[in-house]
Each structure stands twice: as C-alpha cells, then as structure tokens.
Structure 1
Amino acid sequence: MKQNTAEDYAERLKRGARSAAAAGFDGLLIAPGPDLAYFADYLPIATTERITMLVVPGDGEPTMIVPILEHDSAAATRAAPAVRFVDWSDGTDEYVPTAALLKPDGRYAISDAAWAMHLLALQQKLPDARFESISHALPMLRAVKGADEVERLAAAGAAADATFEQIVSVRFEGRTENEVAADLARLLREHGHSQVDFTVVGSGPNGANPHHEAGDRTIEHGDMVVLDFGGIMDGYGSDTTRTVHVGEPTDEERTVFETVKRAQQAAFEAVEVGVACQEIDRAARAVIRDAGYGEYFIHRVGHGIGMTTHEPPYMVEGEERPIEAGMCFSIEPGIYLPGRFGVRIEDIVVATETGARRLNNTSRELHIVQ
C-alpha cells in the first residue's frame, strides 16, 4: 500500500490553510488525535498533559509547538519538511510561545480532540481571540478521501468481512454475548486491526437497542442477533453490521429482515455525486415507513468514516450538503422492536462519479447460525 510522502502532507497542509482562509478563519489549531495524524503524520503519547499543537495559518508557515523532549519524534515524521518546530521546556510557561504563534484577535478552528485545559489557557492569554470547533466550522476538512485513503478503508473493510465469514461458523446458542464479542475482537486483530473500537452483540430483545453493549445474556435458539463491529487498521476505520438468526426465523422476522435489506439497497442506489446527504436517509426511511415500521427506525442512516469510525459527513435529515466523489460513509438502516428483536444491515461505501461502491461485500442475506 502506498505510503504518504512529504509532498502529500505538504499538500494537505496547503489545502487546510486554504479551507481555513476561505471560511474566514486565521488558521487551524491541530491537536494530537486524527487531525494531527492526517496533517502531520504524528501521534504523540496519548497520556501526556504537555501541549503539542500544530498551527496552520491561513497565510504563512505551518508551525508545531512541541515539548523539547518529544522534538526528535515529531521531527522524524514524513510531514516534518513542511513544518517549522518551536520547542518548550518543563518549568516554563508553554502557553507563551504557543500564543505568540497566533494573532491576538484572530479567529481559529481548533481540533475537537484538543484538551480543555490547553484551550482555556490560550483563551486566557488571548482574550480577544475566538476559537471554534473544527467539526462545526470545517466539517468537510477530512471528508473527501484520496485514493490511498480509500484503499486503506477498503482493506479495513475486507478484514471486517473476513471476520464475519469466520464468526458465522462458531456456535452461538448457549454462549453469552460477551463470548461472541470476544471472538469478534480476536478475529479483527488476527485480520490486521491494531485497535478494536466496538463489538456489539445484541441477541433477542437486546438487539432492539442499536448501541447495546455485549453482556452476560445467554444466546438462545430462536434469537435474532445483531453483530456490529469495527476498529482501526493501518490508520483507517472499519464498521459493518450483519444480523444473523439462531435456527429458523419466523415469518415476521423474515419480513422485518427483508424490509431492512430493501431499505439498505434503496439508500445505496440513491448515492450520486451532487445529491444531498439527507436523500440517502430519506431513501431508506421511505422503504421502512411504507412497510409500516417507520417509528422503529430510530437513528440516522449513516455517518462518515476515515481515520475515526464516526466523522462527517452524516447521512441524516437536514444535512443538505451535496455528496462529493471520495466521500466514504456507512449505510445502516435498522428496525428495532422493543422487547423483542432488532435488525440492522450496514456497509461502508465510497461515492464515485458513477454511484456508490461498497467496501463491505459479505452477503446481506439472513445468515442462519447454530
């Protein structure tokens, strides 16, 4: 898989600066987390309280304020040639050199992952400056993926698919949700994931809770079981959902499942460049509503995915932003009958000039498991 070069990161920094300036900001303040990894190829130790921040001015040189003891690590990244480094040492006021990189009355978009203690200290140093969340101010900053990013998302999706293909061969009946969830986590790692973010196993009535956490309930014959799992592989996310049944389903369970499958397909077919994001949600919701289950579809139909498993754009009513080629997002309609069972089918897709392409390719038929 192609590794990003110094030129790739330099281009990302330039694009970020242009986006900030076009939106009326004096720059971006990039904190450790997915934004810093995206723009600067750098993820410092997560537990440190010492400030590291990349300042990307709308016009000027990107500069990273970094603790002196971490300078060598930051300067060894592939993005380093495009960044100037300013060190600070323990025992000094780190916010003085940080504030000196900003305009006293500037307007900045700051990473959602920034620690509150750092933002509050900067506000104290620069009382006339304004700071806004990047996800609200510039939600599309990382939304359109390059070919290398789509390749990584596809690889993560294939690893999740391989996990599903194996999990349906294990025994479900008589085992707890936690035991199946542990199998999912193990298989994701065996197929290359460095991080497992979630392993939802919702059996029987627990499947009616979209974000049920696997518990001690023993899976029984006749249960519908929702499996929603994913994590991070090579820096990019996976997220897929399939619903299986222990033994033969009832006619009603098959009807609900087929309704969700048709809704998922309708949403997939609605993906076109230039179409508003909300139309994807509407396409799935119309199928479920027309089948009489509208009140039981209780969440948006999808979310963006990239270096995090949930990020803009969101496929939800009210989001009029048009789809662009390169946007990657989930399509995951569901029906949840309280106290009884739930069904969800989810794929990650990428928008292309000719429609959507699925990055999950396991069967969307109802799997019968033992």
Structure 2
Amino acid sequence: MNPPDPSQPPPDLRPVGGVREERTRPAVSVPVSGGDRLSAVRAGMAADGIDALVLRPSPDFRFLGGRGDGFLVVTMDGAAETADPRPYLPPGVRRVGVDPEMRVRELFGLAVDAELVPAGQVLAPLRLRKEPYEVAMVERAALAAESVLACAPELSWFGATERAMATRLRVLALEAGCEEVLSVRVTAGPGTAAPGSAPSDRVINPGDALLVSLSARWDGYCAEVARVFAVAEPPEDYDAVYSVVVAARHAGMAAARPGVPAAAVAAAVAQAVDDSGYGRFAAPGAGRGVGLGADEGPRLRADDDTPLEAGMVLCLEPAIYVPDLFGARVADIVACTESGPRPLTTAPSSLPVLER
C-alpha cells in the first residue's frame, strides 16, 4: 500500500454537499495516519472531556487532513471542513479544544458558552511520532536546506550585508524546490553572540565569525539546518569553540535512542560543553522535534522527560555564545529509529572557511 499523500485529506474524509464528513474506523495506536488519526484523536478528546476540536490552517489542521483556508471541526460523531464552525458544534457543548493559531476574532466568533482549551493537549502527543512517509518529507526539507548552505563557499560574502546574503539564500532555497522558506538568519562578527538575531545591514568582513541558518518546508514538512563559517580567517579561539559544538552534537546524537528521555539528550550535550570549559556560555536546551511544525515536541531540555521513540524526528542544535565576541551553533536533523539515531544532515567536522 502506498503511503498517504500529506497534501491530501485522510481517506475517510469525503466531500458531501460541499462539506467533508467522515466514516468511523477502529482506533489504533500511534503513529497513525488517515482516518486512524481521527479515532486516536477522539480517544484523546474523551480522556480530556473535550466535546469538539476547532482547528484553523496550522500544523494541527494539516495533521488531520485540512486543505483549505477555513476551519476543521472534529466531534465524537463527525468531522467537517467549513467556513463557519458553529453549526457543527454539538448541542450543549461544554469544552472545546481550539487551535493555538486561532485569532482573537475567530475565538469570539465561535459564540459558544463553553470552556476553551488548547487543542494541542490532544494532538501534540499524536504528532510526536511520524509515519515513514513523514520522515521522508522532513528529510527532503533538511537535505534541500543543507544543499543551499553547502553552496556558501561559492557565494561572494566579502563586502555584502547580512540582509543581502539572507535574501540570496532564500532565493536559492526556493530554487532548490522548497515550497516555503520559514526563516533565514545570517549574522556576522559579534552579532553571532546574540541568539536569534535577525539579519541586518552590517557588512560582512574578513576575520568575521559567521552564523547561517535556514528553515524551510517541503511538501508540508519542516526542517532547519544551521552552519558556522569563518570569513577568510577564524577569530582567535573560534576553531576550538566550533570543535566543542561539533563534539556536543556527536554526544547528543549518540544519546538519541528509543527509550531515552529527551532530557538525557540535553544532558549529553551539556556535559560535552561543560567538559570543554565553555559550559557557562552554552545555550539552554539542545533542540526540539520537527515535522509539520518547525518547532514541536519533544523538547531536548532538562525538564522534558518524554521518552524518545522510533519515528520521532529531532533538530539537534547545540550552541555556544561568548558575549561581545562570537557564537557558534550547528543544527542538524536526526531521525530516531529502532536501531538508533539516523542523521539526515551532518555538519562538517572542521570549521569551514570562506575565501571570498
């Protein structure tokens, strides 16, 4: 049997009078796909006392087969994609799970006398593990992003601005087949020491440290890849910092096995950085899950004890930020399989130097 097309609705959702309705199927354990997802969702709704879910276009919406720009309503008796969710809410509804991306006017527009709770408490656990075809789509996004960053040595960086190079990388990602570029970050020099800094009009000069990251979507699925470069020649000690980040990545990768808590992966990364003496400069956490969303569970941090399972896909992103000097961050995608971690992308073992 061919895997379901992620751009199509689950097979048990069919058009009826302009609204899609469903035929029930028996519940199965996750990972789930198609109509099986609705059975698993309803089991979660029952456990949480939720009478209906109302989703707008978002990762949760796409997870259940939403295709348009309206709402997807799921109840214990049916499912429908519609422009107006109100007629599909059951009489006497008491608790409604709503999409976290719903706008305030959309929430008020429900006009329902019920408790509104995040739909993610039902859907997030089901989205942790991916079907093989979903892992393949994340891999396509990751490889596309990695191929763009691999072109960095061929581009002209000297004298260009961060903003101009970010625009160039965005175009290359779209040319590589990505359906959407979610974010591009290019920071150079001391700006690399500021986590999450946006591209500016700063000119990139020889001797700069350079951080570049690209987050893209392929056929609905997301991945981020981040790389570190030196421009012409590395700043003092930058080679050593990069080596520590790569070692932390290897430590986290080795720990990412089924049955291991997410916190243990974060601890392995933190230990590798601590052993180098750069522990006080380490970024908190070591990454997160990716899939239909660019930032989803599990969280690779000390307070997340979620056991890793085969089918989870992680963005492993150790980083060191030395204030006023430089930062180094690599982000690679790894799939957790029954036999252990499978890297979908791999940062270079030595610091790449850009010669132009």
Q: TM-score range by the shorter chain?
A: 0.7 to 0.9
Amino acid at match of 1:55: V
2:279 counterpart residue number: 294
Please state how far the C-alpha of 1:325 moved relative to its aligned partner.
1.1
Map of 1:366 onto structure 2: 351
**Which residue of structure 2 lines up, in the alignment, with residue 317 of structure 1?**
302
Partner of 1:125: 112
1:138-217 alignment to 2 at 5 Å? Answer: 138-217=123-202
| Deviation, structure 1 residue 262 | 0.5
Aligned mates of 2:98, 2:295 — CA distance in 1: 18
**Corresponding residue of 1:39:** 64
Aligned CA distance change for structure 1 residues 23 and 277 (closer, same or farther; 3 Å): farther
Map of 2:90 onto structure 1: 102
CA distance in 1, matches of 2:223, 2:349: 17
Shift of 1:319: 0.7
TM-score, length-normalised on structure 1? 0.83
Say which of 15, 36, 45 aligns to 2:40. Answer: 15
* Counterpart contact for 1:270–1:283, Cα < 8 Å: yes
Give CA deviations for 1:113-147 in whole Å, capped at 9, x if unaligned: 1222222343x431xx2221123454323121101
Call closer, same or farther: CA 1:19–1:3 in 2, change over 3 Å: same
Letter aligned with residue 56 of structure 2: A
1:63 corresponds in structure 2 to 80
Give, in angstroms, the shift of residue 2 of structure 1: 5.0
| Alpha-carbon distance between aligned partners in 2 of 1:339 and 1:28, rounded to the nearest angstrom | 47
Q: Distance in 2 between matches of 1:241 and 1:229?
A: 6
Offset of residue 219 of structure 1: 0.9
Q: Which runs of 5+ in 2 are unaligned?
A: 13-32
Contact 1:167–1:183 (CA<8 Å) still a contact in 2?
Answer: no
Asked whether the 8 Å contact 1:202–1:208 carries over to 2, the reply is: no
Secondary structure of 1:140's counterpart equals helix
SS at match of 1:330: strand
| Stretches of structure 1 lacking an aligned partner (at least 5 in a row) | 45-51, 68-87, 89-93
1:313 Cα deviation from its structure 2 partner: 1.7
The one-letter amino acid of 1:114's match is M
2:293 alignment partner in structure 1: 308
Question: What is the deviation of 1:196?
Answer: 1.0
Match of 1:327 in 2: 312
Q: 1:113 aligns with which of 86, 101, 107?
A: 101
The 1:136–1:205 alpha-carbon spacing in structure 2 relative to 1, beyond 3 Å, is: farther
Deviation of 1:54 (Å): 2.1
**What's the TM-score, normalizing by structure 2?**
0.87
- Contact 2:246/2:347, CA 8 A, preserved across alignment: no
- Call closer, same or farther: CA 1:103–1:274 in 2, change over 3 Å: farther
Amino acid of the residue matched to residue 337 of structure 1?
Answer: V
Aligned position for 2:29: none
The offset of 1:105, in angstroms, is 4.7
1:2 and 1:184 map into 2 onto residues whose CA distance is 32
Q: What residue in structure 1 maps to residue 71 of structure 2?
A: 53
RMSD (CA atoms): 2.0
